Structure formats: structure tokens, C-alpha cells
Amino acid sequence: MPTSTPTLESPPAPAPRRRMAEYRRPTRRPAQILFALAAFAVLAAAGTFALAFAMPAQATSGAGHDPAAADGGSSSAPGRAVDALLHTTPRAALHAMPEGFAASAGYRPAVADGMLVNPAGGCSSPVPLPAAFSGACQAHDLGYDLLRYADAEGAPLGPWARRGLDAQLAERLHDACDPRDAACVAAADTAATAVGVNSWRQDYGVPVQEDVGLYALGGVGAAGAVFAAGSGTLGAIRRSRRARPARGAPGDGRVRAAQRRAALRAPGVPA
């Protein structure tokens, strides 16, 4: 009597494997982050210039308007002090301070962080700026107080003095930043631009205190916004990466459904 060979059912086909690329988390390219920070900087700079042109410049005095001041006041005691701030050591600049400056300004300059500064000064901003900017702002305050002192003494300095002090501030703000910290660099760029535009508005003469102006509302405030926004953007990206689950990870509902469909299509398995 012939014997029949039992039919063996084929095992279920394995679920299709996904490529490893499908399990990778989406990442943001450094270029995308830098582009976002650059956009913040552009918007802040646009606001800076808009405020600068919208507000009328206040009248200032200065050697640039005095034909008799052929050397721009550089040979006067305040002029020599500003030159020392720009080109010598902090100790040498301290010794170059005019005798009556401390009494007129209400403070004595001090050496801090390798700079001669106004110890009571700081960055004029309604929003927080990087703490590393503090020394540069205090040194810039001292320079501006020297410009006001020279004017009060009847010998205002020429545009060279304010231009030099602004350029020194810009250099020090950037030196205070880690070059890899895009938010800090953007804040330094915007703050330096704000100060430069304000000086241009005042014809590089004696600094004038303004109740509501570019320095308070526009540039440096915008620089702080750029710094805060840039830092917040980077922090949000990091938090998002930590919190976001991997897309298409094994065990999710879509993978289980694919496995069930493959099993139903396997030979020998009733549908």
C-alpha cells in the first residue's frame, strides 16, 4: 500500500527589514542653525538702522565744527588721555588722566580685566547681554566721559577720539566671545553697529544722553534679543533632540502591522 508524504507547511515569511537609515533621527545641520542666528542678527540690525534714521540727531559740539582745533584736541590733556586709552597700557592711561577729571566725573578710573574702566559703568541695555561684555562697556564709558570732560573744559575733541573709542569697543566685544559661539558674536556685531550708528548720528561729537534712543531701545537691546533668541534656539534644538522619539523604531505600530500582513500572505496560512 503506497504511503503518502505529509505536506510540510512553509514557515511564515519574515517581516521585511527596514534600512538603518529609516531608524535614524532627523538632525539639523549646523548650516541651518547658523542661518537662523544670522536671520536674528539681520532683523536686529534692521531695527537698529530704522530707529537711527527715524530719530533726529541732537545737536552736539565737537572739534569737528571748530576750525581753530587743527589737531582735533589731541594735544590737550583730555586728548592725551584718550590717546593713552587707545594706544598704551592701562597703567600708563591712568597716569595720563587729567587732574580735574575725577572731581568732574565723580569717580576715579580703575584697572580691571586688563583695561582702564569706569568702575560704575556698564552696558546700557534693557535686556541682559553676555556678562563678558561688562569690562569692554565700562572702558567705553570712561572714554565717553573723557569726551564730555573735554567739552566741559572748552576744548572738545575731534571725531578721531569717538571713532577710536567705538572701534576699540567693537574689537573688545568680539574678543570677549568664543568664535564658536554664534549667538555671542551676533550680539557683539549688533551692539557695535548700534554704537557706531549712534556716533554717526551725533557727527562723532560729544556723546549726548538721550531719554529714548537708539542705544537703549535699538541696537544694544536688539543685541541682547539676538543673544537670548540665539541661545534659546540652540537650547530648544537640544531639548527637541532629547525628547523626540526615533521615527520608525522597531516595535512601533506600523512595524507590527507590516509583520501581521506578511504573516497573512505566507503560503499555507489561511487568510
| Predicted pLDDT at 54 | 38
Which domain does 120 fall in, by range? Answer: 69-208
Higher pLDDT, 74 or 265: 74
Q: Does residue 268 form part of some domain? A: no
pLDDT in tens, 50-106: 444 434 444 344 444 443 355 688 889 999 999 999 999 999 999 999 999 999 999
Query: C-alpha 187: how far from its chain's center?
Result: 2
Alpha helices in 106-181 (DSSP H): 134-152, 159-175
Lowest mean pLDDT among 61-70, 142-151, 194-203, 208-217: 61-70
Q: Does residue 110 form part of some domain? A: yes
Cβ atoms of 138 and 118 closer than 8 Å: yes
d(CA 48, CA 219): 5
Q: Does residue 140 form part of some domain? A: yes
| Predicted pLDDT at 74 | 86
Residue 196 confidence class, pLDDT cut points 50, 70, 90: very high
| Predicted pLDDT at 212 | 39
| Predicted pLDDT at 32 | 52
d(CA 95, CA 84): 9
pTM equals: 0.60
> Could you say which DSSP state residue 98 is in?
-
Dig out the grid coordinates for 119 from the structure. Answer: 568702575
* Amino acid at site 230: G
Q: Is 231 exposed, middle or buried (0-12, 13-18, 19+ CB in 10 A)?
A: middle
Total domains in the chain come to 1
pLDDT in tens, 242-259: 555 545 555 556 667 777
3-state secondary structure of 116: strand
| Predicted pLDDT at 68 | 37
Lowest mean pLDDT among 7-21, 84-98, 219-233: 219-233
Dig out the grid coordinates for 16 from the structure. Answer: 521585511
pLDDT in tens, 95-138: 999 999 999 999 999 999 999 999 999 887 666 789 999 999 99
d(CA 162, CA 261): 77
d(CA 127, CA 220): 8
Q: Does residue 56 form part of some domain? A: no
Residue 186 confidence class, pLDDT cut points 50, 70, 90: very high
Residue 214 confidence class, pLDDT cut points 50, 70, 90: very low
Residue 1 confidence class, pLDDT cut points 50, 70, 90: low
Please state the length of the chain. 271
Average confidence score pLDDT of the chain: 74
Q: Is the pLDDT of residue 173 over 50?
A: yes
* Amino acid at site 94: L
CATH of the domain at 129: 1.20.90
Residue 176: count of CB within 10 angstroms of its CB: 19
| Predicted pLDDT at 124 | 79
Q: Is the pLDDT of residue 49 over 60?
A: no
Cβ atoms of 157 and 178 closer than 8 Å: no
Nearest of 209, 214, 217 to residue 60 by alpha carbon = 209
Q: Name the percent of the chain lying above pLDDT 70.
A: 51
Q: Give the E-state strand segments of the chain in sequence order.
A: 110-112, 115-117
Q: Does residue 22 form part of some domain? A: no
Dig out the grid coordinates for 243 from the structure. Answer: 525628547
d(CA 97, CA 250): 73
